[in-house]
Chains A and B, each alone.
Chain A
């Protein structure tokens, strides 16, 4: 299957700082990328959907000013957690899809710990 790479795989940051997570599609062009959050022992929760070149669509309850998403190219989307707090500590996963009705492939996830 296609390869989606997330970076970093783990990050620890201080409360109040911002952290950026990258999601890259390595061997295909992704018109749509999805960002998920996963709490321990829970399934993935969709945070936002981003289409290349346009603003992300956020799910209800997700603060767009807190979780900034940029999808500036067909192979890269970034999620920036701004002014991070300990409650933002979680596992963040992206997935990328080449076009509508094609499979979405997942990145390996990023474990964020805010101290």
Chain B
């Protein structure tokens, strides 16, 4: 069964600290993996996209990693800011039919 699981479900960190969010998937065949940031009451915004051959991708303070062998990805946020408070969603695309599989998201709360 194609699934995407994220952990932790929620996370509280202090401003300026780093954090790492995890995404494990069983989607096969794999096409790509995206991390999205979703502010409350808004649509998701893409942070990074990685294909099978890419191990790491950065977007400012966001760095995503991908291990296609173990089917794991992580999103590392450096020097967190209050504006990083949001839900972070991992989405895996299957090669067949280009179907998207969504993780349930990690709710990040950055406190001053």
Q: Please tell me which stretch of B62-70, B74-82, B103-111 contacts chain A, meaning at least 4 of its Cβ atoms lie within 8 angstroms of it.
A: B103-111
The interface residues of chain A, by DSSP majority, are classed as strand
Query: Using Cβ atoms and an 8 Å threshold, which residues of chain A touch B28?
Result: none
Q: Please tell me which stretch of A12-20, A41-49, A61-69, A70-78 contacts chain B, meaning at least 4 of its Cβ atoms lie within 8 angstroms of it.
A: A41-49
CA distance A42 to B43 in the complex (A): 13
Q: Determine the interface band of chain A, counting residues with CB < 8 A from chain B.
A: 20 to 34
Q: Which of A6, A41, A43, A45 contacts B43 (CB 8 A)?
A: A6
Query: Using Cβ atoms and an 8 Å threshold, which residues of chain B touch A43?
Result: 89, 102-105
Query: Using Cβ atoms and an 8 Å threshold, which residues of chain A touch B44?
Result: 44, 93, 106
B50 within 8 A of A: no
CA distance A51 to B60 in the complex (A): 34
Residue ID in chain A nearest B4 by CB atoms:
A43
Query: Using Cβ atoms and an 8 Å threshold, which residues of chain A touch B42?
Result: 108-109
CA distance A41 to B42 in the complex (A): 13
Query: Using Cβ atoms and an 8 Å threshold, which residues of chain B touch A44?
Result: 44, 89, 102
Given A101-B31, A103-B46, A106-B43, 5 extra CB contacts under 8 A? A4-B43, A42-B104, A104-B100, A108-B43, A109-B43
